[in-house]
Amino acid sequence: MNITRTISEGAKSTEYRGAKSTGYRGAKSTGYRGADSAPRGTGIPYTVIGGPRWDRVRRYSFPLTILVLSRGDRLFRPELLKDLQSRGIGEILWVERPEPSADVDSLARDFPDVRFLLIKAPSTVGEMLNIGIAESRAPVVLSLWSDTRLSVFSPSLLLPMEKSGAVCTVPVSRNAKLEPIPSWQSPVLKRRRLSLSYRAPRREGERTLFPFDYCGIYNKEKFVQSGGFDARIANPYWQKLDFGFRCFLWGDSVRGTTGISLTYTGAPPEENTTPDRGYKLFWLKNMAVRFRREMGVLPARRMLEYIVHSDTGPLYAIQEFRSVRGWVHTHRFRFRRDSREVVERWEVL
């Protein structure tokens, strides 16, 4: 049975009930609430069409949600959906950007068991994932793009991943020639500056800093507890880095698996590592925090350093700093280590 449901600005779905904005001042929504920092829909309106009725008796209706993010050529979309449905491993939730392609209506007719989530306003990829994971009806969510293919997958891995304690498990990514992409990262400090070392996947369960291209198997409960992706960081690189670092700072982890593989039909997107406003938020929330007396602290002495390097002027820089410092204080007991310990003890975390 086809179901159409619209979530409008200011409306709350059952997943977001009781959420409060406790993050940076002046923001419409920060994606955090209370001590749990649960991801929210950030006030973005969206419509859900198609799919079966929700079995509200059970907490989860499916063992897995396959979350497909729309991108690129429309030609092979029916082929992808047929392949995913033939596996019979869970529900399929398709997420469309604010300018949905013309074939969504026909896809909804041809695939009545697939739910299509239509975003109605500009949003970051992280916000799309926050909404999609909140809408999922499974404890584990596999995120992939519509220009990728699920080339290797074993349903027997789902339960171990759910129980592993990792917020996200990152699969192997391959290019169109089936060559492994260096998609797992390790943090390195060089002259007090953070850099990343990329490598091709080697061993099951290796640590990696964040999900490459947002693709991964997310533990829904732990993702909610982690705060999800920060909606105010527009640059995907800094948004993913902020998410991954926060997981490790808060005592969680992101791991890799060689048992699941995604293959790109074209060239994967390149990272834009340009320092921008997203970098500033990442630095304040992660790199500048120190772990003292069993809690996270953003030292006041960091303010001068931030003002000197900020391009927004001293008054606005002070406002930014105080806002993030307040966020760190709110979540101070969630921290289990600081960024220096994450880098220095990377192999044993």
Task: Tell me the pLDDT tens digit for each residue of 298-344.
Answer: 999 999 999 988 888 899 999 999 999 999 999 999 999 999 999 99
In the prediction, which pLDDT does 171 show? 97
In this structure, is residue 278 part of a structural domain? no
In the prediction, which pLDDT does 7 show? 55
Non-local (6+) Cβ contacts of 175 within 8 A are 181, 263, 264, 267, 268
Lowest mean pLDDT among 13-22, 73-82, 178-187: 13-22
pTM: 0.87
Q: Judge whether residue 200 has pLDDT over 50.
A: yes
**pLDDT band for position 73 (50/70/90)?**
confident
| Bridge partners, residue 188, by sequence | 195
Decide: helix, strand or coil at residue 264. Answer: strand
In this structure, is residue 216 part of a structural domain? yes
In this structure, is residue 337 part of a structural domain? no
CATH of the domain at 141: 3.90.550.10
In this structure, is residue 15 part of a structural domain? yes
Q: Phi-psi category of 37—alpha, beta or left, where left has phi over 0 and alpha has psi -120 to 50? A: left
Task: Report the run of H or E that residue 220 belongs to, with start and end.
Answer: helix 220-226
Mean pLDDT of 166-175: 98
In this structure, is residue 11 part of a structural domain? yes
Q: Judge whether residue 8 has pLDDT over 50.
A: no
In this structure, is residue 305 part of a structural domain? no
In which domain, by residue range, is 48 found?
4-273
In this structure, is residue 161 part of a structural domain? yes
In the prediction, which pLDDT does 6 show? 53
In this structure, is residue 304 part of a structural domain? no
Decide: helix, strand or coil at residue 191. Answer: coil
Give the total residue count for the chain.
349
In the prediction, which pLDDT does 35 show? 30
Query: How many folded domains does the chain comprise?
Result: 1
Q: What does the alpha-carbon distance between residue 219 and residue 165 come to, in Å, rounded to a whole number?
A: 8
User: Distance of CA 230 to CAs 37, 39, 55, 173, 237, Å?
Assistant: 10, 8, 30, 24, 12
In the prediction, which pLDDT does 16 show? 28
Q: Report whether 131 contacts 65 (CB < 8 A).
A: no
> Looking up tokens 């900020």, which residue turns up?
310
Mean pLDDT of 121-148: 96
In the prediction, which pLDDT does 45 show? 93
Q: Judge whether residue 110 has pLDDT over 90.
A: yes
C-beta contacts of 341-347 below 8 A and 24+ residues apart: 341/291, 342/187, 342/245, 342/248, 342/249, 343/187, 343/188, 343/189, 343/194, 346/186, 346/187, 346/207, 347/207
Non-local (6+) Cβ contacts of 162 within 8 A are 139, 140, 219
Q: What does the alpha-carbon distance between residue 276 and residue 98 come to, in Å, rounded to a whole number?
A: 24
Q: Judge whether residue 74 has pLDDT over 90.
A: no
**pLDDT band for position 192 (50/70/90)?**
confident
**pLDDT band for position 36 (50/70/90)?**
very low
Measured over the CA atoms of residue 150, residue 153, residue 158 and residue 163, the dihedral's sign is: negative
In the prediction, which pLDDT does 53 show? 78
